[in-house]
Structure 1
Amino acid sequence: QGTLQAVYEYQTLASRLLGMEMATASHYDGATALAESLLMAIRVTKRGSVAISSLIHPLYRRVVQTYLEPTGYEVVELGYLENGLTDMAALDDMDDLAAIAVQSPNFFGCIEDFRAVGEKAHDKKALFVASFTEALAYGLLKNPGSLGADVACGEGQSLGIPRSFGGPALGILASSKKFMRSLPGRLVGQTKDLDGKRGFVLTLATREQHIRREKATSNICTNNSLCAVAAAMYMASVGGTGIRELAQLNHDKAEYLKSELKKAGFAITFDSATFNEFVAEFPAGFEATYERLLGKKIVPGISLAPYYPELANHYLLCVTETMSKEDMDVLVREVTS
C-alpha cells in the first residue's frame, strides 16, 4: 500500500504540473516517454505517420527513430525558422498524421507557441504531443494542458533527482482521460476496501509482463518508481509557490547571463523568448577556449554543430538556480579573455 500510494501521489502531482487529467506511473526517461506517446497516437488515430519538430532534443529524436523505423511508420521532421521556433508551414501539405510533436522550451531554449501548434494539430485531426526536457519550466510557463495538448511527455530529472553520470532519469507521460486504455505502462488508482477504508490498487497494467503480448500497449515501458517517488517528494515539499519561485530564478539568471554576454560583444542567435537556456555565437576558433575552460572545470555550453551543422560556432548555454552571479561573471570574463 505504501508504494502504491506514493506512486499515486506522483501521478497526481505530475498531472497538476502539466495541466493534464492523468499521468502514468512513469517511464524510463523523457525520450522513451516521447516515443511511447507517438506510438500511442498511431494506435488511437490508426494513421501511419507522425511529424516531429527538428527542435526536439536530438537524442529524443534518435530514440523515436529507433522505435518507429522498424515498424514502417513514417517520421517527418519539421524545420525551424530564423527566430528559433519550429516551422509549421510544411504541415499544410501533410495528411494522415497521427500526431504532431513539438518541444517547449525547445532545444534552442526558445518557448514555442503551444496553442498554435495544438490548433494546427487538431485541424489535421491529429494528436498534439507536447514534449519537454525541463519540467520545472511549467512553474512559470503556461502548462501544456491549458494550451490544448492531448499528451504531455518528457524528462523529470530536475524534480529532485540527483545527477549521476547523466542519470537516473524519469520519463513523465500525461494525457487526457479518454486515452486511458491506450496509455503505455501502469496506472495506480484509489479505491475502497470491504470495510470502506481508502486503498490503492494497480488499476491498469498494459505491459506484456502483465497481459497477453498481442494486447499489450508496450513491451518496453519500464517505470522508474523510485525516481517517481523522489519527484513526488520534491514537488510536495517545494510546493506550487516554490516551484514557481525556482522557475523564476532559472529564467532571471539566464537573462542576466544573456545580457552580460551581449555587453561583452557576443551575439544571441535567436530573438524568441527563452526560459533557462539560450544560444550564443562565439568567434571562430572558440574550441581552444572551450578546452581551456574545461581544464578549469567550467563548461561554457555545448556545441550545436554536431546536431545542426549549419550552426558552427554556436553554443547552447543553460543557467539553473544553482549558479551564482559570481559563477556567471567568471564565465563572461573567461570567454572574453
Structure 2
Amino acid sequence: MDVMKACLVDGYGSKPGAGWTLDYEDTTAGKRRIGISNGNGVIEFVTWGSYSLGLFIWDSITTPGVGRIRDDAFSAVMSDGVNGWKHEGAPAPGDESDEIAGLYCYGFRSGEESNIAWTVYADDKAAWLLSHYPEGHSNTEPGDSINSAKSNYYPQLFMGALKSDDLQRGGAGNFFLGYGGIGTSATSGNATSGNQGNMTYFFGLRTPVDTAPAVANSPQYEPAGFECNHYLRNPLSSARLLLPVLVSYEGADAPKPASLSSSYADYQFAVLPGVAQIGEHNSQTFFWVGYNENRGAPWSLQPATIGGITWMPWSIGAVNLQECGITDNADWW
C-alpha cells in the first residue's frame, strides 16, 4: 500500500506521482486499507491475515468497509459501492466462501530487503507493479531466464485502463486488474496458493461493448501474444518486431459473425499498455537469455535498448508471454 500510494498518488523520491488520486485510506494498525482511483474506477487494497492483501475493483466505493479479511466479520470488511468485483467472474460483495483476488506480500516484510526489490511503471491511467530479486542477487546472474529473477511468491500486478478502440482511455469502467495465481476464499489465513510470478487472472469493469460484466455472460478476459515466426528466437536478427500484447474477451456476448463458431469467437479488443512481446518462447530457447549473454548483461533484468526504446525484460505469462519487455516510452501507453 505504501509503494502504490507513493508512486501513483504522492510521488516517490524525486519523481512526482503518476496522477492517480486517493479514494480513501484507513490507517488502523493491523487493519490498513486503501482505495486508489485513476478516474475510471477504483482499486481497493484490504489487509488479509498477516501477510496478504485482498484486491477489489469498483466503479466507485460509497462506504468503505472496516477491518481485515479473515479476522473480522466478512460483512463488515466488505465495502459498499457500485459495480464491484472481487475475482474473475465474481461480483462483490458475495460471501466469504467465494474466491477473492489477492497478493501474498510475505517477501515485502521487514528483514527481506536483501531478497526483494520492486519496480513500478505507471502513467495517470495504468500501472504495473513488478517485484523481483534485486540487482546482484545470486538468482539474477547472467544466463538466467526472466522467471528465475522472480520468486513464485513475489507478486506482480497490473491495474487500470487498457488501450482500446472499444473503450475510451478516460471512460468510466475502463479499469482492469491482472495478477498472479492467487484466488483464495476469505476464510484462508493467507493468500498463498499459486504462482504470483505469472499473470494468471485478468478481469475488468466493462466488456468491449461497454456494459458492466454479468455472471450470466461468463465474462472472461485473457492477455495473449501473437504466434511469431521462428526467426524471433535469434536475438542477433537485425530486424526486431515489437508486438503489442493483445487482450481478448471470451464472454458469451462477445461480438462475432453469426457464421463463426463460438470456439473461434475470442474478441481482441485492447492491448496491454507499456508492454511488447519481443521474442518467441519455446522450451528450448529464451530470447532474453541469448540477448543478455551476447551483450554481457550482468543482471537478467537489466534494461536494453531495442528499436530505439528502452525495455525492461519481463515475463507476463507462464508459457507464451515470457519474452516480453516493459517500457516507460509514452508511445506504448
State the TM-score bracket (shorter-chain normalisation).
Answer: under 0.3
Q: TM-score, normalised by structure 2?
A: 0.28
Indicate the structure (1 or 2) with the bigger Cα radius of gyration.
1
Q: TM-score, normalised by structure 1?
A: 0.27
